């Protein structure tokens, strides 16, 4: 599903939306009366939230997946209420039509509330109720604000509470956005696989604790990155099931108050039809209202993906280091000048940008963990910050992976001669001699090679009775990268 349309607020949201001399309509709530601009679809509850929460400058409209999901939930609820005979067919039809317009992004400028809002998402839910009610009124030939005909609470919010609608919409939004994230992850994994396949026989040296280890191929190194990303991809696919278990119909605290006993299953059925997702009703609705484990699971998966991306970016930076005084085993594409004072310097700016995206995700995970841990008794009031952080984090990582793939990984060139030189010059390849001459003698050869600046092959030729042919076979770096060096020796011994 493509949510690019309406991904940013299309209008500037003022503090109250009630400019001097502007034509207004009067609305009321339990706190009193307020003037609402006549040309907006939102109402008094949205206006109060706009006045109360002027914090981040980021609005609900900046998360189109969430707006789409809320409208889908409202459509499902309207269909269920109509089927139960609780909502007149003409009103249900108008509400459903308005819901579909919102899902299509036509009213994306009508959701101006700051994402950091108190009330456990009540403001976002009421904003949606008001927009749908007023658009439904308009579709039916009525003026906005004629709530005696279609009311935001009595009709659009019928059989619902913020406490079941908002979490359900949040999970749907995450499930949809996960599809975009998975697509970016899959493409990046394939890019690493393609790079690995082109260098499956080009040898370098493996390193542990930043010290020389044993030979491997560049292909093996890059395939490892791809494998980690594929593991993340599988985790995201499995997470969809958890995100599709919803508490819709549980209403305020999970007991289903103000809702027909049949509503829960019907609303779930209609939502599955509308979204095409495997939506299921939570087996314990009271637990589902207060449980934020799904948000923690998404956060954990994002953190793991960020850790894998950072690992790949950091390794590429190291392997790119130099070119004269570093590893210089590969070159990432030159994207911009690297210094205002050092002529010709080029920095690995794309991996550096990826790292900074990952830092954001680590901070996101801390925020989500704290918010999830603060849910007292029958409700967690901090889902707005959780969903904001998670959707923003998913957007950041999806964009980071696209940037990483198109501006770095697909343009990497390998310095194969340098890799082979490092593989042949490492004293750690003496491990291949363990089975033939024993560990202690192999240690002595490694130490002498390091001290005298020679290769293990040179010292072993001087200090052992192994033939040149056998040493070449045992110390062949490509064979060692496949674990074949000692195997060949063992096969010879078995044959003899």
117 compared with 490, residue with greater pLDDT: 117
* Whether the predicted pLDDT of 492 surpasses 90: no
Q: Can you tell me whether residue 337 is helix, strand or coil?
A: strand
DSSP lists the bridge partners of residue 212 as 207
Instruction: Give me the pLDDT at residue 60, please.
Output: 95
User: Among the CATH numbers 3.30.70.20, 1.20.58.110, 3.40.50.450, 1.20.200.10, which is that of 165-252+279-416?
Assistant: 1.20.200.10
Please count the CA atoms within 13 angstroms of the CA of 25 that sit on its side-chain side. 15
Ranges 82-86, 336-340, 367-371: which has the least confidence: 336-340
Q: Is the peptide bond before 206 cis (omega within 30 degrees of 0)?
A: no
**Summary mean pLDDT of the chain:** 91
Round to whole Å and give the CA distance between 47 and 57. Answer: 16
Q: What percent of the chain has pLDDT over 70?
A: 93
Round to whole Å and give the CA distance between 214 and 253. Answer: 59
Instruction: Give me the pLDDT at residue 21, please.
Output: 57
Instruction: Give me the pLDDT at residue 402, please.
Output: 98
- With cut-offs at 50, 70 and 90, classify the pLDDT of residue 484: low
405 compared with 17, residue with greater pLDDT: 405
Round to whole Å and give the CA distance between 192 and 232. Answer: 14
Q: Which DSSP state fits 438?
A: -
* Whether the predicted pLDDT of 496 surpasses 90: no
The residue among 164, 174, 178, 128 whose CA lies nearest residue 267 is 164
Q: Give the pLDDT mean for 415-430.
A: 92
339 is catalytic: yes
Widest Cα–Cα separation across the chain = 102
Q: Give the pLDDT mean for 293-310.
A: 97
CA 42-94-112 angle, to 5 degrees, is 20
CATH number of 426-495: 1.10.40.30
* Whether the predicted pLDDT of 16 surpasses 50: no
Q: Give the pLDDT mean for 479-495.
A: 56
| 418 membership: H or E segment, kind and range | helix 416-425
* Whether the predicted pLDDT of 247 surpasses 90: yes
Round to whole Å and give the CA distance between 243 and 234. Answer: 15
Of these residues, 4, 108, 227, 339, which one is catalytic? Answer: 339
- Which span out of 307-321, 340-354, 448-462 was modeled with the highest average pLDDT? 307-321
Round to whole Å and give the CA distance between 245 and 252. Answer: 17
Round to whole Å and give the CA distance between 176 and 179. Answer: 5
* Whether the predicted pLDDT of 10 surpasses 70: no
Q: Can you tell me whether residue 331 is helix, strand or coil?
A: strand
The residue among 233, 234, 244, 64 whose CA lies nearest residue 171 is 244
272: left (phi over 0), alpha (psi -120 to 50) or beta: alpha
Instruction: Give me the pLDDT at residue 20, please.
Output: 52
- With cut-offs at 50, 70 and 90, classify the pLDDT of residue 420: very high
| 428 membership: H or E segment, kind and range | none
Round to whole Å and give the CA distance between 83 and 89. Answer: 9
- With cut-offs at 50, 70 and 90, classify the pLDDT of residue 486: very low
Q: What percent of the chain has pLDDT over 90?
A: 83
- With cut-offs at 50, 70 and 90, classify the pLDDT of residue 477: confident
Contacts of 486 (CB under 8 A, 6+ apart): 432, 434, 435, 474
Round to whole Å and give the CA distance between 375 and 395. Answer: 26
- With cut-offs at 50, 70 and 90, classify the pLDDT of residue 338: confident
Domain 28-158 falls under CATH 1.10.275.10: yes
- What's the residue count for the chain? 496
CA distances from 491 to 354, 430, 439, 475, 487 (A): 47, 19, 20, 16, 6
Query: What's the pTM?
Result: 0.88
Instruction: Give me the pLDDT at residue 343, please.
Output: 87
5 compared with 73, residue with greater pLDDT: 73
Q: pLDDT by residue (tens digit) across 87-140?
A: 999 999 999 999 999 999 999 999 999 999 999 999 999 999 999 999 999 999
- Return phi, psi of residue 381, to 5°: -85, 0
- With cut-offs at 50, 70 and 90, classify the pLDDT of residue 17: very low
What is the residue extent of each domain of the chain?
A: 28-158, 165-252+279-416, 426-495
Q: Give the pLDDT mean for 153-173.
A: 96
């Amino acid at each position: 599903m493509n949510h690019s349309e309406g991904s940013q607020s299309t209008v500037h949201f003022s503090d109250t939306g009630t400019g001097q001399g502007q034509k207004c309509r009067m609305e009321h709530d339990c706190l009193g009366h307020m003037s609402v601009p006549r040309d907006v679809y939102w109402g008094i509850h949205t206006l109060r939230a706009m006045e109360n929460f002027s914090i981040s400058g980021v609005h609900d409209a900046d998360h189109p997946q969430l707006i789409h999901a809320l409208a889908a939930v409202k459509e499902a609820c309207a269909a269920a209420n109509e089927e139960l005979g609780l909502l007149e067919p003409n009103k249900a039809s108008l509400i459903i039509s308005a819901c579909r317009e919102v899902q299509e992004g036509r009213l994306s400028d009508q959701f101006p509330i700051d994402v950091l809002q108190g009330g456990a998402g009540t403001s976002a839910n009421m904003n949606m109720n008001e927009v749908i009610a007023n658009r439904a009124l308009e579709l039916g030939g009525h003026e906005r604000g004629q709530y005696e005909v279609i009311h935001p609470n009595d009709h659009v919010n019928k059989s619902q509470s913020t406490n079941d609608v908002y979490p359900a919409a949040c999970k749907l939004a995450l499930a949809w956005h996960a599809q975009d994230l998975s697509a970016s992850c899959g493409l990046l994994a394939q890019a690493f696989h393609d790079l690995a396949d082109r260098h499956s026989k080009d040898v370098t040296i493996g390193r542990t604790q930043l010290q020389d280890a044993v030979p491997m191929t560049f292909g093996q190194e890059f395939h490892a990155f791809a494998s980690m990303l594929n593991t993340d991809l599988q985790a995201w696919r499995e997470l969809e099931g958890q995100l599709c278990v919803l508490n819709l119909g549980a209403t305020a605290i999970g007991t289903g108050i103000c809702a027909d006993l049949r509503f829960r299953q019907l609303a779930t059925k209609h939502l599955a039809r509308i979204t095409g997702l495997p939506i299921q009703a939570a087996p314990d609705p009271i637990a589902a209202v207060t449980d934020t484990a799904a948000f923690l699971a998404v956060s954990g998966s994002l953190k793991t993906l960020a850790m894998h991306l950072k690992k790949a970016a950091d390794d590429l930076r190291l392997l790119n280091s130099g070119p004269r005084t570093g590893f210089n085993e590969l070159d990432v594409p030159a994207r911009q000048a690297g210094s205002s004072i050092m002529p010709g310097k080029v920095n690995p700016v794309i991996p550096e940008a990826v790292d900074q995206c990952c830092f954001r995700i680590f901070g996101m995970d801390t925020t989500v963990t704290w918010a999830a841990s603060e849910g007292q008794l029958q409700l967690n009031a901090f889902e707005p910050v959780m969903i904001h952080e998670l959707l923003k984090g998913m957007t950041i990582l999806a964009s980071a992976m696209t940037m990483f793939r198109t501006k770095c990984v697909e343009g990497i060139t390998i310095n194969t001669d340098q890799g082979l030189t490092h593989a042949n010059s490492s004293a750690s390849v003496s491990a291949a001699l363990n089975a033939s001459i024993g560990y202690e003698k192999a240690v002595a050869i490694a130490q002498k090679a390091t001290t005298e600046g020679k290769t293990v092959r040179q010292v072993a030729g001087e200090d052992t009775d192994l033939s040149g042919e056998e040493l070449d076979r045992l110390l062949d770096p490509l064979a060692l990268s496949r674990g074949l060096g000692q195997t060949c020796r063992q096969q010879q011994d078995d044959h003899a």
